[in-house]
Amino acid sequence: MTREPAASAVLRTPRLRLEPLRVDHAEEMKPVLVDPGLYVFTGGEPPTTTELRDRYAVQVRGPSPDAGEAWRNWIVRLAETGEAIGYVQGTITTAEQRADVAWVIGQRWQGRGYATEAALGMVAALADEGVTEISAHILAENTPSERVAKRIGLAPTDRVEDGERVWHGVLERAAADVPTVVDPVRRRRIAWVNLAAGIAIIGFAAFDAIMARAGVSPSGPDQVARDLILAGAGVAMILTAFRRRRDVAPGPPGRR
């Protein structure tokens, strides 16, 4: 995917183009948002063009400088035709570099993976801005949004806000510099496994050295080198475990 600075970037994924929100998008977005089925979980009713223009004017203007937030909004278009099919948005808590995200795809285009693709494109752009954690607020009955959340790497937490379950994930970058959202609970479990394995390896190396010194097992340069390598590997695993636990900060970001 092609990425530029998120605030003004047009984001491109294999099938979609994510265009930074403008007030004049209201006219073409009204037909996308007109289906009452979009409001089964969120409540409300389809907005008029005037209401959309007013809403978009606020979103484009953004929060006050002292709010501690940054707003990112994109209209989702089909790359092939340029047709608008929905939107994605992220609210960044700037001090903590966390973002709360949301996605809406019009009823006509649902069930084709567009929401997941658009959300992944947005997450990549937010990662380019330094965001390290992602959350989303989803009603328990909203199974399609839960599926999207799982596909982009989020996991449900025990936290419920305004009747919505908070989903949460931690951003990591793979070798190809592609950001990936990681379930923080799974990350902690892996950290514990790394810690236990590191301690076990160091323990084995120490035991082997003691047995060699006591003459119970063969000793020599090969034995010493093997134990040093094992001890080094154990220390590396322990350090990795502590780094993984340190990088998982508690709590989700706030909402817009």
**Annotated domain spans of the chain:** 6-130, 185-247
Which class does domain 6-130 fall in? alpha beta
Looking at per-residue confidence, does 239 or 165 come out higher? 165
The two structure tokens encoding residue 225: 């080198």
Q: Reply yes or no on whether the pLDDT at 175 is more than 50.
A: no
Q: Model confidence at 150, in pLDDT bands (50, 70, 90)?
A: very high
Q: Model confidence at 27, in pLDDT bands (50, 70, 90)?
A: very high
Q: Model confidence at 202, in pLDDT bands (50, 70, 90)?
A: confident
Q: What is the pLDDT of residue 246?
A: 53
Task: Note the pTM of the prediction, 2 decimals.
Answer: 0.70
Mean pLDDT of 107-119: 96
Mean pLDDT of 72-84: 97
Q: Reply yes or no on whether the pLDDT at 109 is more than 90.
A: yes
Looking at per-residue confidence, does 10 or 188 come out higher? 10
pLDDT per position as a tens digit, 49-59: 999 999 999 99
Q: Reply yes or no on whether the pLDDT at 256 is more than 50.
A: no
Task: Calculate the CA dihedral of residues 170, 174, 180, 185 and round it to 10 degrees.
Answer: -40
Q: Which of 14, 10, 2 is nearest to 116 (CA)?
A: 14
DSSP state for residue 250 in the 8-state scheme: S
- Residue 105 neighbours by CB under 8 Å, 6+ apart: 76, 85, 86, 114, 115, 118
Q: What is the pLDDT of residue 181?
A: 62
Separation of alpha carbons 21 and 217, rounded Å: 71
